[in-house]
Amino acid sequence: MTLLNNVSGIKLHPEFEKLLSGLPYSQISLLSHFTEGRSGAPVLLIDVNSAPDELHDHTSGLHVAKIVQVRKNSNELEAHNSAAGYFRFIPQIVASHQERLTFEDGETTSKGTYLVIVYSIAQGSLRDSCTLLMLLRKQAGRVAEYINDLSETIHSEWQEYTSVMSLIPFNLLRENMLRTLVRGNRSVANIAEQTINVDRYRPFIAVADSKLLLPNPVAYLENEEYWHGARGISFPNGPIHGDLHSENIICLQNFVSSMRIDFAGFDPEVCVFYDLLYLELNILLHIFTHDPEGWHDYVRYLATDWELQSEIISGSIAAIHAHALLKTLRQPIYAISRKYNREEDFEIAFQLGITAIGLNYMRKLQPDTQSQINALLYAAYGLRRALTLLSVRSPIVDEDMVAYPKQGAVSEDDVGISVGFTEYPWKDDLSLFSGHTPSSPIDAPLSGERQATSSTDVSSPGDGEPLIVDMSQIERRALERIERSIVARRGRDISDEVIAEFAECITRIRKHLWAKGQSSGITRDEEIDSRRDSQLMQKLCLQYFDKPYSMFIEDALSPVKQEETDVIEEAFSAEPTPQKLTRQTFAQLVKQLNDERDEWLEKHQNELQGALQGKTNAWILRELSRIDQRLENIRKETPPAWFDVHRYIDKPPVLLTEQPVVVTISIQNLGRQSRKITYTEQSSDSIVIVDTEKDNSPRSTSLRFVATIPPGEYAEFTYTFFVKSKGKHSFFGSLKYAGQEADWDDIPVQSITCQGDAQPSVLNANRFFRYLPDKTEFILRITNPPLTRIAQKIELKEFGDIGEKSIVESFSLDRYLLPGESVSLSYSVDGHQRFEDCKFSSKSNLTYQEIDEPTIFTLPTGTSCKPLEYETLRQKDVIAARDTHIRELIEIIQAVSLGESDGQHIIHIYGSRGHGKTTMLHELIRQAKHRSYDCIYIQVQRSINLVARIIVELLQTNIFDEKDIQQSIARLDIKNEYEEKLLHYIVHETMKLNLTFDEADIIVRQAVFEVLKQSAQQQPLLIAVDDSHEFQATRELELMRYVISRFAETTVPIIFAFAETTEYAVGSATGVVESSVSTYLLKDRKRQTIYCDELDEAECYGLIDRLIPYPQFDNQLKRFVYKLSAGVPQDIYDILRWLTTSPEMLELHGNLWSMTQWLMREEAKFEDISRILPDFARGYFGDNSDTFKYLQILSVVGERIPAELAKDLHTEYFPDDTSDEEYERKIAQLVQIDFIIKEANHDLRFTHLSRRNTIYEDDNFAASPLRIEVRES
């Protein structure tokens, strides 16, 4: 029986104490109560002593324990183990216990099965740690750091486990993100109908106290017909946590890191946006507690600017606090959208994720009906944006098609909003966000009697507020004044971290004020919390306003002081507001401000009229002045007009002959006044389009111009703008080559002229922005480039008086050589010569007789080029895939060496295996040496480098006398001066002193640094550490940390290359907090990061052209390679090798033309690359060859095979010939085809882990008795 010691006096039900006592520990101390969990599940910090047996000895120390009820069809332990295969830094479950408990509450008795789970989370750092929710409440200013850490972790997981899928939006919502919540009695639709009166068949919902209709998410979840016309979309699919709220995230206080617990909701196949949006809504509901106006305006804004590129112009401090956190939290979403280049589809999936999460929370938050409605509102705005992007038309509005959510009482849980959406005219309008678009096809005003009752006309401050006790009402007003003062001073002397502290404190005080107004009152503990929060507010006000909180309350009581405060705030708001507007949002913002001003004037016309007649309605004039001032500030600080060319089409086909160029132009007027636009074509009459004079809505006009441009010539397109008043014009150009859409980037612009006062400024290819005078003529000259020339080499053997020699001449084709065509190649010779074996680089052989004069070489009709030999392919330059990265790295290391990198001397390269990091490093070192750099290349765990030799051979042998040191030195086989100097230094120092093991460790660290420092003083030094994720030995890791720290702020660039896949954890036995190698090694270091991702289609084609430089490898075949390889450089190389050297392919198809046709027909057979390598190796050696069989045997062992084991396996399975010569012959053949590397110590290693896996997992080998036999042996 476990001894339970409740040292902190935690209130815990006796049944739960009984459950904890069943854990396999001798003693458990309850230290603190993290949280009671969203479902009443206690989460505790405990200190345990293990039982005497050895089974649990490693679990002593601080742990987190969570108690959950075991529900039907839910197995948290199994889910956690499944999740451990996908998520990084997942805590380990070290103990668990399950028991049936009985709870008695008066006359009520309930029974249930409960499970306690003990998590091991970075022992030694938990004592001051807390959940993310507790951090929000206690240290709101630090939350952004942990959100950033979590965001980076999730991004790295997505890079590894995410794939792209396609579904129609209805199925994405219903069958992917909400598939477990659409059926049964507790389905989303049933809960919505039973609790908040939202009918599943009404496509609209009305927003309380507003004339706005939104799409009903429940109806769109249940009725596919509302999605009529919606296309399928792509979305990122992968594993999710499933319940990632702020109480399931443990923030470790000793360093900025977090752990996720409770993986009961784990699902391996869901849109990956789910987790981040789940956490986002959880944070928002907490921050906007008891701030209904802020909630409505901010969720409306979120649906219009998904990248949060615009800054908040004015708003509550809750909105500012939320904005800062969400910009960090959403970073992985933007990164993965850019990675796959599918921003539009991914934004739609993102907005549908908002819809799904809002519906999920609406279901969970019952019986708090007001919070349910707020979650539904979050879902509705996301759905509206998704429908707009999909161009789905909404049904015609009818009274019977509108659902009116039922307003309910608010619970004491602080995840809700305390009151409905009520307008307060004296408060700043919180909806002024630059990304907000007030008009949308899905918006519809209410009509008739419902409209009259849905709008509250507030005539003076105070109307519509909940009637609480007088002092509570006054304190609310004081809080509002503090908020306005903070917003006015934001960016001057108040940072966003301070705003976060104020926002959290104000949220808690408002909750206490609301609770005091309830009939039940507040408990003693709540009263203590209320006093503590008031004291914190007192401290904050004294620190940032030089007066206590109590004086703000007095100001709210005094009309004179209230007026003085208003004047000060007005002076602040009259100053220009710092703008961070994009060009795309400016026109929308100005239109929005104008529209809202008109709506505001119409609403308050009676009060305004009274103010103008001298009546005491000064507040209405001040509000009008503020709106006008904001509008004027925007206009002053943003360009009033510009010309923008948008490009959005993919790749054009290659021009082989003259083709017509079809130019379609759409000119859109986004201003509030009419524009007269004249389009002029060369030598033709002008076409004049004039917008409707009084129509302010955007207008579009499309013009079509067709011209045939011969190669090398050009055509000019002239656009003339007659501008009545300055405003914004957008030009959207769509070009077509031979009926196929092309990108502006691919249209070479020969010259640009502009008639008028202003000249265009070119920001990037074919994109122009400028101010337009009253009349401007813009001429764009589009050039059709000449046909691509194909360079070939011709090799000739020349025989003459001087004997035999080889010469190489080059020629160029003016066009592609098509199948069946002939081409004549002219080559002149002087004198009597004879040529034989005229060879093209494609190895086609032609023989010519003796000639006496200049001769025409003719390639016969139908001649096809055979593939290159394998050795030729291997020796080609494969750096093409990383040219851009190499240039960037050269610039970075030069900047570091010159001291121009702002102390960022560490370069962090990461990417998945096979993405070309090692190849890139080798090329970088080669180029750096040409620039006189002294380069040290370290490849972890290959025993051929400086660090591995010193650490492995000297430190781990624990040898320090002269004889043994000299023996170690002899074994090292010194090959460079660095190692020689280093070993001399170590021998000298260790002989002088009687050193302990740790002291010798320090000597080695100092020696490494001293030798490197001496080199850096003589010439520029570059250190490159490859395969850094392979660091396992603690001493190696500590040595590298030491080198980094000593070289900090120097001009020595240090490069670390990490694979994104497996990074070993740094164990707690080293005294270091458990972490990934990259996090531990580079923690708190300034660094520059380069990510090696998959190649896009154009980059893949470029790499193929570098590897196989002849035209017969056409685009169809390239597209096949790209699709099969998914853009991974290593896989591209392997597929090309298979296509160009596989005997099976050559025998069957003879040449690449017929091979292409066969592959297109049989494409379904090659769904992934796993079939390619085994087929290649089998075909190269023969299916029954001993070499291929030996390759399969080696794959069973793993990626690395010790030399002794490799020989033993050869002797056992090939008894007919066990000679060393036969063994070496097989190894040489495997090395020749680039499957195996033989290392310096004679150990074998597969050239890449993926190659070992494809051989081992080959279908033919998987069912073979040989594999089973080798595994068992």
pLDDT digits (tens, 9 = 90+) for 753-772: 444 433 333 322 233 323 33
Looking at the structure, tell me whether residues 1184 and 1070 fall in a common domain: no
pLDDT tops 90 at residue 12? no
With contact defined as beta carbons under 8 Å apart, do 103 and 13 qualify? yes
Looking at the structure, tell me whether residues 151 and 168 fall in a common domain: yes
- Provide the percentage of residues in the chain whose pLDDT is more than 70: 50
747 or 519, higher pLDDT = 519
Within a domain: 1142: no
Within a domain: 1039: yes
- In this predicted model, what pLDDT tens digit does every residue of 252-283 receive, in sequence order? 776 677 888 888 888 888 999 999 999 999 89
Q: Which of 35-44, 596-605, 868-877, 905-914 has the lowest mean pLDDT?
A: 868-877
With contact defined as beta carbons under 8 Å apart, do 905 and 896 qualify? yes
Looking at the structure, tell me whether residues 428 and 516 fall in a common domain: no
pLDDT tops 80 at residue 733? no
Looking at the structure, tell me whether residues 717 and 685 fall in a common domain: yes
Within a domain: 1157: no
977 or 643, higher pLDDT = 977
pLDDT tops 50 at residue 1168? yes
440 or 1049, higher pLDDT = 1049
Non-local CB neighbours of 654 within 8 Å, separated by 6+ positions: 788, 1115
- In this predicted model, what pLDDT tens digit does every residue of 58-102 receive, in sequence order? 466 788 888 888 876 667 777 887 777 777 667 888 888 888 888
Q: What pLDDT is recorded for position 758?
A: 38
Tokens of 563: 């007026």
Q: What pLDDT is recorded for position 91?
A: 81
Domain count, the chain: 8
CB-side exposure of 1229: number of CA atoms within 13 Å? Answer: 17
Q: What pLDDT is recorded for position 630?
A: 60
Looking at the structure, tell me whether residues 857 and 905 fall in a common domain: no
Most confident listed range (742-751, 924-933, 1082-1091) = 924-933
Residue 48's pLDDT band (boundaries 50, 70, 90)?
Answer: confident
pLDDT tops 80 at residue 194? yes
427 or 95, higher pLDDT = 95
Q: What pLDDT is recorded for position 895?
A: 80
Q: Which of 498-502, 683-687, 1111-1115 has the lowest mean pLDDT?
A: 683-687
872 or 115, higher pLDDT = 115
With contact defined as beta carbons under 8 Å apart, do 1100 and 1132 qualify? yes
CA atoms 374, 380, 381, 382: torsion sign? positive
Residue 603's pLDDT band (boundaries 50, 70, 90)?
Answer: low
Q: What pLDDT is recorded for position 274?
A: 92
Q: What pLDDT is recorded for position 279?
A: 92
- In this predicted model, what pLDDT tens digit does every residue of 1075-1104 receive, in sequence order? 456 666 676 666 777 777 778 877 787 777
Looking at the structure, tell me whether residues 688 and 795 fall in a common domain: no
Residue 354's pLDDT band (boundaries 50, 70, 90)?
Answer: very high
pLDDT tops 70 at residue 704? no
pLDDT tops 60 at residue 195? yes
Most confident listed range (393-407, 496-510, 689-703, 965-979) = 496-510
Within a domain: 1043: yes
Tell me what the mean pLDDT of segment 167-173 comes to: 91
201 or 1113, higher pLDDT = 201
Q: What pLDDT is recorded for position 224?
A: 87
Final residue in a domain of this structure, among 739, 761, 783? 783
Most confident listed range (10-24, 168-182, 494-508, 1184-1198) = 168-182
Distance CA 393, CA 666 (A): 23
pLDDT tops 50 at residue 396? yes
Looking at the structure, tell me whether residues 207 and 305 fall in a common domain: yes
Most confident listed range (7-21, 239-253, 396-410) = 239-253
pLDDT tops 80 at residue 1009? no
pLDDT tops 80 at residue 993? no
Looking at the structure, tell me whether residues 427 and 501 fall in a common domain: no
Length of the chain: 1273
> Residue 720's domain spans which residues?
643-783
Stated as kind and residue range, the H or E segment containing 1004 is helix 997-1018
Q: Give residue 820's identity as a one-letter amino acid code.
A: G
pLDDT tops 80 at residue 1194? yes
498 or 816, higher pLDDT = 498
- Comparing CA positions, the residue from 749, 719, 723 lying closest to residue 731 is 719
On average, the pLDDT of the chain sits at 64
Q: Give residue 360's identity as a one-letter amino acid code.
A: N
Looking at the structure, tell me whether residues 717 and 754 fall in a common domain: yes
Q: Which of 425-439, 490-504, 1217-1231 has the lowest mean pLDDT?
A: 425-439
Dump strand ranges (E) for 1029-1129. 1054-1059, 1087-1091
Looking at the structure, tell me whether residues 648 and 634 fall in a common domain: no
Final residue in a domain of this structure, among 420, 454, 488? 454
Distance CA 271, CA 346 (A): 10
Q: What pLDDT is recorded for position 484?
A: 78
pLDDT tops 70 at residue 846? no
Bond from prior residue into 576 cis (ω within 30 degrees of 0) = no
Q: What pLDDT is recorded for position 169?
A: 92
Looking at the structure, tell me whether residues 924 and 1048 fall in a common domain: yes
Final residue in a domain of this structure, among 754, 783, 812? 783
Q: Which of 216-220, 393-397, 654-658, 924-928 has the lowest mean pLDDT?
A: 654-658
Most confident listed range (192-206, 938-952, 1029-1043, 1180-1194) = 192-206
Q: Which of 646-655, 860-869, 968-977 has the lowest mean pLDDT?
A: 646-655
743 or 366, higher pLDDT = 366
Q: What pLDDT is recorded for position 728?
A: 38
Q: What pLDDT is recorded for position 367?
A: 73
pLDDT tops 50 at residue 427? no
With contact defined as beta carbons under 8 Å apart, do 1088 and 1127 qualify? no
Q: What pLDDT is recorded for position 277?
A: 92
Q: Give residue 307's identity as a one-letter amino acid code.
A: E
- Sheet of 163-167: strand order equals 163-167, 233-240, 267-271
Residue 521 Ramachandran class (φ > 0 left, ψ -120 to 50 alpha, else beta): left
Tokens of 778: 């813009």
Looking at the structure, tell me whether residues 684 and 711 fall in a common domain: yes
Tell me what the mean pLDDT of segment 888-897 comes to: 81
Within a domain: 1209: yes
Residue 351's pLDDT band (boundaries 50, 70, 90)?
Answer: very high
Within a domain: 1139: no
- In this predicted model, what pLDDT tens digit does every residue of 610-642 receive, in sequence order? 555 554 455 555 566 666 666 555 555 443 322
pLDDT tops 60 at residue 159? yes
Dump strand ranges (E) for 877-933. 906-911
pLDDT tops 80 at residue 1119? no
Q: What pLDDT is recorded for position 1121?
A: 80
Within a domain: 1126: no
Q: What pLDDT is recorded for position 163?
A: 86
Distance CA 273, CA 390 (A): 19
137 or 1141, higher pLDDT = 137
Dump strand ranges (E) for 696-756. 699-709, 714-722, 729-737, 740-742, 749-755
Within a domain: 1159: no
Tell me what the mean pLDDT of segment 1049-1063 comes to: 71
